[in-house]
Each structure stands twice: as structure tokens, then as C-alpha cells.
Structure 1
């Protein structure tokens, strides 16, 4: 069992406890660090803190990628930033934006993955007050578009490319697929305005994809299938991953 909380106590959890915890909830390790167990059993780390009268929560990543030692190291770094009056979330976003700008400056042409990440960091994160919504943008684009388009130059993306991303998921998980289309349209529109591509936006629905894909209003909603065929398991797990990811950000 986790150690009982106490004032200023850190390292309350052990590697064995972290491994064996099953009950959904948040378990304090001390020093602002929490292990979060979702209802589906997924485990991730959370850094909770107050700054300038504001309570904030910062997702550090899933347990399978960030072990207890690494999570404590990150928490120590962020506590140090707090002592200096620096908001760890703002600092992380600034560092990521700087990294993307540096990577982008190295090439006149931009790849799809870079455009997606830069658009989310520069446009959606400042615009969305709920961090979970920004996380949904990242996860959706990463899960459904990066496998096919991640390393493709954005000025080479065509209607066939967009259709190739949407067609396999359009009927099975239409609500998610519609979000993917809308977000692809937004990124491609941004890329055109920035001068990274020219021509029509291949992700636009009206007078474009509407002639290739069934109307979302007439497609069966996801979750209404009586059973899940084996060949559709991959799409289901990707959707489940998206939901779990947004719960820990």
C-alpha cells in the first residue's frame, strides 16, 4: 500500500506499489507528483501545482514511457522552476515552440508533422483554455495522419492523400474521422497562408470530399456496432488511446 501522506514527505510510492496499483484514482508521491490510474487501467504521471493564485495540472507522460525515477526527476526540475517564479507549463510550451521554430528554419519546405505540431503550438494552445482540447488535437493528428503523411512535404499532399487517411476510418469511427478531416483542413489552410503550399485545400468537405465520402449525417455513429470484428481492432484501440491520452493531459 502507498505510504500515508505527511507534511513535506516525498517519495511515498515504491516501484512495486506503482506496478501493482489497479484502483482508479490519483496517488501522491509527494513533491507535487501524482500517479494517475484511469478507469481503463492506464497509468500516467501528473504534476500539480499552484502559481500566482492559479491551480494547474501538467501531464508528464504514461508510465510505460516515464518510470518512477524519471517522473521524480522531472518533478524536481519543475519544482525548481516554481521556486524561481516560472510556470512549468508555460516554460515547456515556450521550449517546444523554440524547438519547432529552429527545426522549421532549417528547411524552406515543411513536412506535415512539423506543420501539425507548429500549428497546434502556435495557434490552438493559446486559443484553447482547456489543455485537454489541445491534447486532443495533437493526439488525433498523430494517431491518424502521421503514419501516412508525417514525413511527407506539406506542399505535396493531395486529395488522394487526404482520402487515403479518411477512407479506412470514415464508416467505423465517423465522429473521430470527421474531426480528423476538419483538423487536416485547418492545418493545410494555415500552411497555405504561411506560404508552405499553394493551390486548393484538399481536406475541404464542400464540393470536394463530399463527392468521395458518405455524408456524416447518414453514417452510423461509432459505438453502435453489435460486435467488433478482429480486423477493426486496430482502429478501436487507436480511438481508445486518444480518449485515455486526453484524460491525463
Structure 2
């Protein structure tokens, strides 16, 4: 920002005697009888009135003239006037050593980058604050945020977007906790205070279930997919066979696959639970993998861009085109789980392990070191045989 001109010069700043010396546009050099020199700016904040009902003029200090140069004082005065014109009180920025909420939130986001499972999770964390907090409290210093400001962020979406509001509350709390740990705040976190006061209405949230295709109908649908040549069709077939999540299948790379050992190992970084998951490969799964080898891509299921995976919407859009928009891709995991329980009579721990679900308490999981791979292989072979008889692919 280029500094504006005014009446004062560097020489006048150094030599003016005691008094209040104007530079123009509300900026003054104040010289005390002791010889101390400091800058102030007088602004009229839009919308604020004094006791008589007239516009309220307020002076703000900009620092000592021995550390703040004339040009710096002009630049700061200009910024304060711009804030006042928009109805913002410059006092919130008077303490230059206290960051604004947005400044600290972005720094917390950077500090936590190594802990995100993937960049998408990190983006979601910041985007929630960007959309619902920054417009309201982003410019406020973190030591000025209390319960009213928290309610200002949460109330508009508490009932209409309750899950988003809960995540927003968690992220607001995290930023303010960091502020306190850095000595920028004191006292109770206002997010905690709002929660414990029960000032927000209680919201009843019904459990959201992914619409699953009945397992008896899945083989016929799988056969329809077999008649299609699109990569999305092969990816969806593989998803059905493995009962894995969309992101796990679409992010699958060839270095995760051991064809000789008939094993697909998904690293913990790509798993929802953060734990490595091994998938036993059946004959039907291997037939799909051998077919996809022809693409010579880094990813098993390559998208439109070379060496990039399919879009995460590709399989769902395919289902819609096939008239199965009443169901979801994730629902096939439920289809498998129902079949495993009702038809295969698979033990609960085997069926849950196939879905990469954590079962039992922390203590129980500590002793259950095995991932039941070979027992799962038997179950997955039986599941795959439902589909191999419904298509003509050579194994």
C-alpha cells in the first residue's frame, strides 16, 4: 500500500514542540511536554453515536514516533479509516500482537497438516471455518471472542445443518484452545460454556443409513455391469466383490497388489480407521485386475486423465444411468453384511473384519492381533461365487 502525502515531514516530526500537530485526514502527531512523540488517528465509526446522538469520533493510538515512521503512521491511519467506514471498530486491531481468529485458524491448519489422513480432510477442516466463522468473527482478535460470538456462528445452522454445526463447534474450540495455550486468551473456552449452558436447542438426529440393494438382487445387477465396457463398471464390480469403500477402491494402486499371494494390502493412510487392511483376492477379483492391467496406469482404475484415478462420483453416476438411483455404492457393504449373516452364517468377527470395522473394546482389540485373513478368504470366496456364474469372464 502506497503511503499518502500530508502536511508533516520527517524533519517536522523530529522538531515539532509540544502540542497536537495534524498531518491531515485525522492523523496527528502528539508531542508531550516531556518530548515524547506518538501518533493518533481520529475516526468516525459508521453507525456509532455519542450520548447526544451525534456521530461518535474516537482517537486510536498508532504507536510512538520513535518506532513508527511517518509513512507507516499514514498507512495505518488509512487502514483504520477504511475499517471505520465499514462500521468496524479499529480497537480490535489496536493490539498488534494478538492475531485475529482467521489468522490463528489458518496457522493451526498449517500446523496440523501432517496429521490429516489426506489433503481433503485438511481442506474440509479449514473450509468449514471459512464458510461459517470467518465472515462473522474472522477479523476479531482471538482474545475478544466470547459466547455471543460463538452463538453468532452456530445458531444459523444449528438445526438446519446440525452435523456441520457440530463440526464447526469442534473446530472453533480447537482454535480457541490453541489461543489459550499460547497465552492469547484466559478463562473457559466459550464453546464449552455454550455447550454446558444448553442454550442451543436440542436436535434429534435420525441415523442415516446408506440405501442398500437387497443381496438377492446384487448378482443380476453385477451381470448387467459385466455387459458394460466402462472402467467405472469394472470398478463397481470390484467394489461389490471386496465390500470395500469407494475411496479405497478408486485410490488402489498396483504396488498395493500381490497377484501371486492373491492379496491386496491397503495402507493405513488410506483407511477410514487409519489401520492397514488386507483384502484376500478371489478368482473373480483377479480376473478384473488382469483385465485392468492393459491400461498400464499407476492406478488400477484409471480416470479420464492419465495416471489419475476415476472420479469419486463415477460409480454412483453409472448406477443412476442404469436406473438404480434408489441405491448407493456404499450400500453394497450392507448388502454383503446381510448376506454374510443370513446366508453364509459367517461369525460376526469375520464379517466385521471383512468390512474393516473395529470390533470390541480397546483391550479386546489389543489381544486380537489377527486380522482373520484366511477365515475371511473363505467367506469372500463364497461371496464371489455368487457372481462368477453370472458372467462369461475367463478366470
TM over 0.5: no
Structure with bigger RCO (C-alpha 8 Å, 6+ apart) = 1
TM, length-normalised to structure 2: 0.27
